[in-house]
Structures are given as structure tokens and as C-alpha cells.
Chain A
């Protein structure tokens, strides 16, 4: 009698366990599906809410030069140009620094007190919130830029495309640097040793062994930091000057897609205006998605080899 009781108890327990197991597997699958649905949901939401502007403004929205919500004229060109110019200047400024960090940490001195200090500092650069960069830029960098602009004889706004690019450059350096370091570390020691044994100097090894080997990985790092730069909002908004005209030179104020959304989204009082802003968001979304996916693909191929 007692035996059958414990047996049925055991059976019930193992049945429960099996039910739990099925439930657990099911939940995991559902959560994984949720992530996919989430991303599709983001894309669909952006498309639906930019429909009014796509319908009424069409493709010419993207190269319209004037942005005048009061008179219902919307052209996104100033912001597209603003985003492209700030991001590319930031990229050009940041590349030498991130390469130098990558080479130093990957090849010259992978370990040691000084390289640990550098590595941690670079990671902290990425950790500082963008609003703090923006605030610091606003109070410290803008007056400095104004003085410089006065000296070189352009209109001394202080605010402007170049100021924003400088801040952006600092902010994106860690991304390319960290990736570059990983890539350089992956270069097989035998290749480097082979070159050294043939009498190559350190620079020649970097130039002729490491560079050809890591080219594509370094390129991917730059792509990913470009993705960061394109979408950066707060720091840029606070120092770019927020005008809706196309910047005349790199020192004049401008606006980027992200910063115009941040500034005008809550003020947008009619459908087409709001929808025009969301369309900017959609463009930003698509561009950063493409850049990120390509960058990640390159890295994956690189690390798998």
C-alpha cells in the first residue's frame, strides 16, 4: 500500500517536471520571438507614423532645402547634410586617435600598468553620458571655439557644426579603438615573428603584416563608430546651434536629424509636421541599421576565419 502511494507521488512529480520543462522551453522560444517582434514593431511604427508625410510630401522632402513648419514647408536637406557633415568630420578627427590607441594596446604594449590605464580610460570615455559632454561643450568648448573663430576671421558663433564634430569625435573614439585592438590581437604571432626574423622593423611589421591582415576589421570599427555618430542626439543638440538653414561653412550653426527631432518633436502641433519629424527618425533608423548590420557581418567573418 505504502509503496504505491510513493510511486504515484513520484509519477506526479515527474509529470510536473515534464510540464515545467515544456513550459520553460516554450517561454524561451516566446522571448526570442518577442525580440524579433520588438524590432519589427519599431520599424512598422516608424513607417506607419511617417506615412502622412511620405504621402503628402513625397520623395522631394528629402532634398527640399527649406524647413518652415509655420508655412507648412518641409525639406530635410539641411538636417541630412548636417548629420553627414558632423559625422564625417568627427570620423576624420577620431580615426588617427583610435588607430593609435588600437596599435598601442594591440601591438606595442598589450599589458602593463600604462596600457591598463589607457584601456580603462578609453572605456570610461564611452561611459560618460552624452548630456554631460553636451553641457561641458556648451560651457567650456563653445567660448573657446568663439575665440578661435574670431582669430581666423569667420563669424564667431561658437556654436556650430565644427564644435559638434569635436565633441562627437571624442565620444566615438572608444568604439573604433576597442574593436581595432581586438582585431590587432588576432593577428597570428607566427606571421609577425616571420617578418621580424627577416629583419623588419616594428613599423614595417605594422605596415606590412598587421595592416593588411586587420584592414577589414578596422573598417568595420569605423563603420560602427559612424553609426554611433549619426544617431547621437544630446551632445550635438546642445552645441550645434539649432538653425534650420544649410550650414555655409563648417563653423556656422546647423542642425542634425537627431537634434531636430529632439528640439521640435514636442512642439509639432499638426500631423504633417510631426510625421515629417518621424520620417527623419525612419531615415536615421534605416541608415544606422544598415551600417550596423554590415559592420557586425564584417567582424563576424573576420573573427571566424
Chain B
């Protein structure tokens, strides 16, 4: 069947317009959500909100300082665990592309990346919470650290693979031992890529709620004890959002605004680093 050129060009144009329309429609939900949360949350944020502990459920007033501090501690501990392990594993994978161990670790990283967060919560519950007999912020950090690992490992591996072997060979030719070649030449060269992987992984886990439900749990007072339950921003949003009171919802909007902007900011920082240093993630 022969169709006229005009018809074909018109069809192509129409489909192009339709595609562009579909592609841009999807930015609307995100803009709606950001604007809505900004509108609802901004009025809530003041000094008291940031420095007081919450009042009992359903009463107005109070703040979320316990969740802010809790989130900070939980994420910090998770980072302390995950960053060294992730970077070392990434180094191993970039150095050994063909060994059997690297095949299995790479497979393990792929698997880990796909494990639903709730399943990691269950596992952390049985590894840490059950033996200790109490929910603890430490167990939450472990769960989050497991989720950070694949992102850090992947970004480290991909970045270090791009570093020219001639740099390493120059180091060896000067008589440098293996560990110094890696730590003094390879890692500093790829530090921007590694760093953006680390920040990205923090951005991913800062908003995770599911793994904290059975591990860090949550409480209503300010606490810095990592062997005891601890409140976190996402967990606070979840508990307050599912309450029937309007004042609880207001608290949750305030917390959501802070969480959303922290996460978006971390993502933008990652963007800037990758753009500035021209690394591919």
C-alpha cells in the first residue's frame, strides 16, 4: 500500500507532539507534590517546631527535634558502616574484573539492589533486634547500611574502572606497593565519583521508612542512645500521617517538607559534583 508523503510526515509530527505531551505531563505530579507540601509545611516550621519534642498525639504544639536528631544519628551510623565497606568492595570489583569471587560479588550486589526494603527490615530484626531483645537505632542503621552498599559499590567500581591504567603503572614503576597505588593514586583520582555515589546513597536511605518499622521503631523523647529505640523523620511522618487528627497531619507536613528538601538538596549536590567533575554514574 502506498501512502502519500504528506500523510507520513503528518503522522510523524502528530506522534512527536503526542510523545512530547506525555513526556512532560509526568513533571506535573512532582510539581503538585512539591508545591502542596511547601504550602502545607512552611507555616508549620518555626523555632519551636525544630527544637521541641512532640506533644502527645492529638494535641497541638510541640516539635520534631527528636526525629531530626534521630534521623541524623541513624544515617550517620549507617554511613560509618557502609562507606568503608562499600568503597573497599568497589575497589576489589574494579581491580578484579574476571575472578570467580568478583563474579559472585557482582551478582550479590545486583541481588542486593533489588531486595525490597521491607525484607531488609525483617532480616535486621532477626539479626540485631531479636538477640538484643529490644528495638534499637543501631539495628535501623544496619538495615539502612545494607541498602546503601549496592549504590556505593556500583559507583566506586564504575568510577575506578575509568581511571587509566598508565597512572597505576607509573606508580608501580616508581616502586610503590599495591596499597599505596590504590589509596594514593587510584582513589584520589576517582574521589568525585565515589563521593557522589556516597551522597546519592545517603539521599536514598534518608527517606526510607519500611526498614525502620521493626528496627529503630520510634519514640517521643529526645535520645542519643543507639541501643534504644529512636524516632526518625520518615517514621514520624508515617505515624503522624496515619493518625486521624488534623494537628498530627500538620506536624507530618512540616516534617515532610524538611525531609523532602533535604533529600532533593542531596540529589542536587550529587548532580553538581557529577557535572563539575564529569563523572558518569
A contact set with B: CB distance below 8 Å = 17-18, 20-21, 23-25, 27-29, 31-36, 38-39, 41-42, 45-46, 49, 96-97, 100-101, 103-105, 108, 117-118, 120-125, 127-136, 138-140, 170, 173, 201-204, 224, 227, 230-234, 238, 258, 261-262, 265-266, 278, 281, 284-285, 288-289, 291-293, 296
Which chain A residue lies CB-closest to B22? A100
| Shortest CB distance A284–B (Å) | 6
> How far does the alpha carbon of A209 sit from the alpha carbon of B8 in the complex, in Å?
16
Which chain A residue lies CB-closest to B176? A17
Q: Kindly list chain A residues whose C-beta atoms are within 8 Å of the C-beta of B146.
A: 38
Q: Are B214 and A118 in contact (CB under 8 A)?
A: no
Q: Is B160 an interface residue (CB 8 A)?
A: no
Which chain B residue lies CB-closest to A105? B23
Q: Tell me the residues in window 10-25 of chain B with beta carbons closer than 8 Å to chain A beta carbons.
A: 11-12, 15-16, 18-25
> How far does the alpha carbon of A293 sit from the alpha carbon of B107 in the complex, in Å?
8
Given A21-B178, A121-B27, A296-B110, A31:B209 Cβ within 8 A:
no
| Shortest CB distance B174–A (Å) | 13
Which chain B residue lies CB-closest to A97? B26
* A42 contact from B26, B119, B242, Cβ within 8 A: B119
Q: Kindly list chain A residues whose C-beta atoms are within 8 Å of the C-beta of B113.
A: 292
Q: Kindly list chain B residues whose C-beta atoms are within 8 Å of the C-beta of A42.
A: 115, 119-120, 123
Q: Are A204 and B12 in contact (CB under 8 A)?
A: yes
Q: Kindly list chain A residues whose C-beta atoms are within 8 Å of the C-beta of B203.
A: 127
Bitwise interface map of B from 88 to 120 toward A, beta carbon under 8 Å scored 1, else 0:
110111011000011011011111111111111
Q: Are A293 and B117 in contact (CB under 8 A)?
A: no
Q: Are B101 and A24 in contact (CB under 8 A)?
A: no
SS of B interface (majority): helix
B contact set with A: CB distance below 8 Å = 8-9, 11-12, 15-16, 18-27, 29-30, 32-33, 36-37, 85, 88-89, 91-93, 95-96, 101-102, 104-105, 107-120, 122-123, 125-127, 146, 149, 153, 177-180, 182, 203-204, 206-210, 213-214, 234, 237-238, 241-242, 249, 252-253, 256, 259-260, 263-264, 267, 271
SS of A interface (majority): helix
Q: Are B88 and A45 in contact (CB under 8 A)?
A: no
Given A49-B122, A258-B210, A293-B110, 15 more pairs with CB closer than 8 A: A17-B177, A24-B178, A28-B95, A33-B101, A35-B108, A41-B123, A45-B127, A100-B18, A108-B19, A108-B20, A135-B238, A135-B256, A201-B9, A262-B213, A288-B114
Q: How many A-B residue pairs have CB under 8 A?
A: 243
| Shortest CB distance B84–A (Å) | 9
| Shortest CB distance A115–B (Å) | 9
Q: Kindly list chain B residues whose C-beta atoms are within 8 Å of the C-beta of A104.
A: 19-20, 23
| Shortest CB distance B95–A (Å) | 7
Q: Are A203 and B110 in contact (CB under 8 A)?
A: no
Q: Kindly list chain B residues whose C-beta atoms are within 8 Å of the C-beta of A296.
A: 110
Q: Kindly list chain B residues whose C-beta atoms are within 8 Å of the C-beta of A33.
A: 101, 105
Q: Kindly list chain B residues whose C-beta atoms are within 8 Å of the C-beta of A118.
A: 23-24, 27
Given A18-B177, A32-B89, A35-B109, A131:B214 Cβ within 8 A:
no
